[in-house]
Amino acid sequence: DGGITQSPKYLFRKEGQNVTLSCEQNLNHDAMYWYRQDPGQGLRLIYYSQIVNDFQKGDIAEGYSVSREKKESFPLTVTSAQKNPTAFYLCASSIQGRNSPLHFGNGTRLTVT
Grouping H, G, I as helix, E, B as strand and the rest as coil, residue 17 is: coil
Nearest-angstrom CA–CA distance, 74 and 56: 12
- Enter the DSSP assignment of 30: S
Q: Which of 40, 63, 83, 111 binds another protein (CB under 8 A)?
A: 40
The reply on whether position 98 binds another protein by CB under 8 A is yes
The reply on whether position 22 binds another protein by CB under 8 A is no
The closest of 9, 21, 3 to 93, measured between CA atoms, is: 3
Interface map 43-82 toward another protein (x if CB under 8 A) = xxx--x-x-----x-x------------------------
Nearest-angstrom CA–CA distance, 31 and 38: 23
Residue partners of 70: CB distance under 8 A and separation at least 6: 52
Cβ proximity to another protein: between 5 and 17 the closer is 5
Which residues form the interface with another protein (CB under 8 A)? Answer: 4, 6, 31, 33, 35, 40-45, 48, 50, 56, 58, 90, 92, 94, 97-107, 109
